[in-house]
Amino acid sequence: MEATKSCLFHNIAETEQESMMKCFKTFIKTYNAGEIICFYSDEDKGIGIIEEGSASVIHSLASGSQTILEYLSAGDIFGQLFYFHGARENITVEATSKCVVRFIDYEHIVKRCERACPHHSQLVNNILCMISDKTQSVCEHLEVLSQRSIRERLITYFEILSAKNNSDTFTLPFTMSSLADYLSVDRSAMSNELCHLRDEGLISFQKNHFTVQFPSS
């Protein structure tokens, strides 16, 4: 099983959560698969937390191609504050399944609660832990993209998924087409490399369900 992600309400009593969310002026929105959750060109400095479902942070190019910068699932955090890209107006967050998102205004996180809410510090600490989880995810993606060949990118990514699931068998968090976008490679070339890895007995797969058999290093 994948390690449990940091929770927004960790160590905060359920009886306190509703009043805290009013204090922080949070709100929840639901999106269907394919809907745009936000554009990073907006002036909104808030952050979003995926409560249910999944989404992707996508960088679109003028050529029409796109790269998945990050895959988001329940417990993940996002917002333009976390991306210092030169063309943030080309970055969007798109729901990849029915998705429930809680939005929090950044100013209400960094300023001290006027009512001296005893759980404010705990919630800020929880958010920092969530950002730490996010940083790890981004670093993993950079590790994958640092590999020079499609084969090396696939193997590195599969090794990460295998480690996260504590199993040689796992399910991709997105479609094969999205996998190519995540790896920033041509889909046909990726499909060919997957077949080579299968023929070599290093992987087996059916749709997005994979089993890997990489030799121990």
Rg (CA), the chain: 19
User: What SS3 state is found at 141?
Assistant: helix
Of the candidate ranges 80-84, 102-106, 142-146, 194-198, the one whose mean pLDDT is the lowest: 80-84
pTM of the shown model:
0.78
Instruction: Render pLDDT for 24-52 as a digit per residue (tens, 0 to 9).
Output: 778 899 999 999 999 886 566 678 999 99
Contact 119, 53 (CB under 8 A): no
Crossing angle for the helix pair 150-165 and 187-199, to the nearest 10 degrees: 70
Instruction: Render pLDDT for 151-201 as a digit per residue (tens, 0 to 9).
Output: 999 999 999 999 999 999 999 988 899 999 999 999 999 999 999 999 999
